[in-house]
Chain A
Amino acid sequence: MDIFDQKAPMDLDGNYGSTGEMKKAQYMLQLLGTPWDADTLKCIITAAEQGMEMRTGYLDTLNAEQNSPEYQDIFEFGTYPGLKEADYNVAGANAIMAFINARGLGYSLVPKNVTEAATQDFWVDIAVTEATPNVDILVQEQLLKPMTDTDYTANAEACEKAKANLNRVLDLLEKQLTGNAYIVNKYSFADVHWTAVIHLLMQTEEASLVRQRPQISRWYDALATRKSNCGQDIVSFSLLPNKDDIKQQELSSVVIDDY
């Protein structure tokens, strides 16, 4: 039994494909990650959008479990989140999202038009390189460190700097969303990346950074009720962890009920 089967066991009884009616048991996925990691959330959103059942398990990165021999036997550089599908393993949000997107049931989350695909990647880049590091600081200072040390006081200087950086990036996103339902025409990977980042930001004490921007607020609120593009009765947003889930170190699995 590997670390996936220990932490994200596939209980096949009664679940999607378990009786072989759609021969989907082979497509059941197992994911290891953490609820405060934007990359983990992106993978869960993508699986829900593409109608792929996925069991999730908590990877204890607070105690550097990604560097454990058990995990690095599978992913030698400790890259996480990690995904398993039968005899296939892959790690990192970009790899997992692309894999699920290609395997899944819905339309591809990569735009077919070349300028839209490039524009999507531009916004993914900004989410990854500009927004995520600053949201991570706020999550660390305001959620995670107080979780392990109740007397901890957030580093005000680090938080202010992160907020200033986010203000600049969020202004760009606000402008991009003006007049657009989604970031680049149809719902795409750009929306998946930003949903994870904005959702984590909303769990911190700095939710006003989002709420003071009407276009981002409108887009974020609309996602809360948006059904997945695979046509199944699932809302990917509903699987995202709230503050209590983060404290409890709990991740939602993707369960398809209407197959």
Chain B
Amino acid sequence: MGLFSWKKDKSSQEITLLGVKGQIATMKCLLMAGIKEISLKTTLATPETEIDHINSYQYIEGTQKVPTLTQGDFSVSGARAILTYLDVRGKGTSLIPKKARTLGLQNYWVDVCYQALAPATEAMIHGNMTVEDKIALERVLSSLNKILADNQFIVGQLSFADPHAAAYIYVLKCGGYDISQHPNIEKWITRIEEKMSGPLNIEYLPMQTGSSNSQVA
């Protein structure tokens, strides 16, 4: 590129998100956008397509996937990738911890979300939560509650672990799951919301068809 050539400024281009209402992966993206003060134009995919609420993305009509983020000519799918993108594009410092041990801990909790929180939450969504699911869920919630008694956020500083885990808590609360026995989790959710630029639209069930702008302002 020459010295005086014009480089397109991607940061000013609108960011759009194709998601599914109530989908945990979509909710993670909305949370991250809120924390990083990014204005998203959100379009909701039709619920007729078979959407797995837990998986980070799903094929729609053979070609599209949700959640999918687009900015200019760049497009990417899946909560993992979208969170990475929003973290860099958004305001403030990166949510990725600089210290190796804290970074490892962050990813540990992201994995715990996928492996322990997700199956129990999925069971609750589908109304077939077993005693074992509830025990597994309570173990994670108790552990989080204990950690959050000492920490402002899951690994101390605000990190990727927070939007990942908070998305499940929102879904559990909207689904009527009682988390009042874990007061530190409730306080932590409040702290996350204080970091956000606007309220999160957490209407969850039933899924709705259509389009709405800026679920996160």
Contact = CB atoms under 8 A, between A and B. Distances in A.
Contact of B107 (A98, A103, A115, A119): A98
B89 interface: yes
B107 A117 contact: no
Given A118-B82, A122-B81, A129-B56, A99 B139 contact: no
B112 A125 contact: no
Interface residues of B, number: 32
B74 interface: yes
B105 interface: yes
A103 B82 contact: no
B55 A129 contact: yes
B108 interface: yes
A201 interface: no
A225 interface: no
Nearest to A83: B104
A91 B108 contact: yes
A79 B104 contact: no
Nearest to A115: B74
Contacts of B139: 76-77
A114 interface: yes
A125 B81 CA distance: 8
B112 A121 contact: no
A91 B80 CA distance: 19
B84 A92 contact: no
A92 B57 CA distance: 21
Interface in B110-155: 110-112, 115-116, 139-140, 143
Nearest to B79: A125
Interface in A190-234: none
Contacts of B100: 98-99, 102-103
B107 A95 contact: yes
A124 interface: yes
Contacts of B55: 129
Given A77-B116, A88-B101, A121 B111 contact: no
B19 interface: no
B103 A102 contact: yes
A29 to B, nearest CB: 11
Given A115-B74, A118-B84, A125 B107 contact: no
Contacts of A102: 99-100, 103-104
B215 interface: no
B78 interface: yes
Interface string A111-133: 00011011111101110010000
Interface string A68-81: 00000000110100
A23 B172 CA distance: 48
Nearest to B77: A122
A97 to B, nearest CB: 8
A77 B137 CA distance: 11
A95 B82 contact: no
A81 to B, nearest CB: 11
A91 B78 CA distance: 23
B129 to A, nearest CB: 18
Given A90-B104, A92-B108, A92-B111, A125 B116 contact: no
A96 interface: yes
B76 interface: yes
A204 B57 CA distance: 27
A103 B98 CA distance: 11
Given A77-B116, A121-B81, A122-B78, A94 B107 contact: yes
A191 to B, nearest CB: 16
Given A77-B112, A94-B110, A118 B76 contact: yes
A113 B20 CA distance: 28
B204 interface: no
B76 A122 contact: yes
22 contacts: A77-B112, A77-B143, A79-B112, A90-B108, A91-B111, A92-B112, A95-B105, A95-B108, A97-B107, A98-B104, A98-B106, A98-B107, A99-B101, A102-B99, A102-B100, A102-B104, A114-B85, A121-B78, A122-B78, A122-B81, A125-B79, A125-B80
Given A90-B107, A98-B104, A125-B79, 6 more contacts: A79-B115, A90-B104, A91-B111, A96-B104, A121-B80, A126-B78
